[in-house]
Amino acid sequence: MSSMLTGKEFVSKIREGNTELFAQSRENVRRFFASNPSKEHMVEHFRGRMVNEASNMKAISAEIAAAPASMDVTELELLTKQAQDEAKHFRMVKEVIEHISGEELDVAAAFAAEEAAPQAKGATLLDKYEASSDPAALAAYQLVAEGRAEAVWHEMAECVEDEFISSRYAAIAKDEGFHSNIGAWKLEKLVEGAADVQERILAMVEQMRVDLLEISNKNTAIAV
């Protein structure tokens, strides 16, 4: 890097770089819903999203459980709010699946089916980038992946005419934007005055965007 950025400048640079990823992800969502997917395909699609929300819930909860006594109490409160949001999203997507299928969902069976035939999920990147042991990586994931999630859920809310579904997706989108802002807040602090961290995270984010676009392409693939 030619010069070190302030924390705010660094986060702004990442946000600007996310524009193309978010636009392509939204386009993929529009294409998916315009294909008029079958009820079975919709249930399978949202089964993956439900499990992804549960994975996020567990990852953030683990971060809270492992928090040192020195953790900023504001950060702890924000993470606790996010964990609760992820649990709420898990429930809301479950309800959407039941609304689509007209049947009560066997959650254990859904998780088993997803494990047997896993769909592409953003939460898998938490392990890839070792976010559980790297606070800067976790903050970057929140900023980028949760920001993309906001764009995707918002687009789904716009694409679905069913008010039961669209209202829930709009609520989830709002929460995802909040989670992305948590990552921005944390990342600003972690990279301030740390040129080596800035360089490492910029490189990580470049690859993370590639991974997230691949995930978007896969989980909005048109059934044939």
Residue 82 lies in a domain: yes
Q: How far is CA 145 from CA 35, 66, 126, 224, in A?
A: 25, 22, 10, 28
pLDDT tens, position by position, 53-81? 998 899 889 889 988 999 999 999 999 99
How many domains does the chain divide into? 1
* Averaged pLDDT, 43-59: 91
Residue 156 lies in a domain: yes
Residue 157 identity (one-letter amino acid) = A
pLDDT of residue 223: 56
**What are the structure tokens assigned to 203, written together?**
């490189």
Residue 191 lies in a domain: yes
How far apart (Å, rounded) are the C-alpha atoms in residues 209 and 22? 9
Residue 1 lies in a domain: no
Residue 33 lies in a domain: yes
The pTM is what?
0.89
| CB distance 125 to 144 below 8 Å | no
Inform me whether the pLDDT recorded for 187 exceeds 90: yes
CA quadruple 145, 75, 173, 132: dihedral, nearest 10: 30
Q: At what angle do helices 147-159 and 163-191 cross, to 10 degrees?
A: 170
Residue 224 lies in a domain: no
Domain extent at residue 105 = 7-219
Largest separation between any pair of C-alpha atoms in the chain = 58
pLDDT of residue 65: 93
pLDDT tens, position by position, 73-107? 999 999 999 999 999 999 999 999 999 999 999 99
CATH number at 200 reads 1.20.910.10
Q: How far is CA 203 from CA 56, 195, 209, in A?
A: 23, 13, 10
The residue that leads in pLDDT, 180 or 1, is 180
Inform me whether the pLDDT recorded for 111 exceeds 70: yes
Inform me whether the pLDDT recorded for 1 exceeds 60: no
| CB distance 144 to 205 below 8 Å | yes
- Helix/strand/coil percent split, the chain, to 5: 80, 0, 20
How far apart (Å, rounded) are the C-alpha atoms in residues 114 and 35? 23
Residue 2 lies in a domain: no
To the nearest whole number, what is the mean pLDDT of the chain? 92
Report residue 98: phi and psi, to 5°: -65, -35
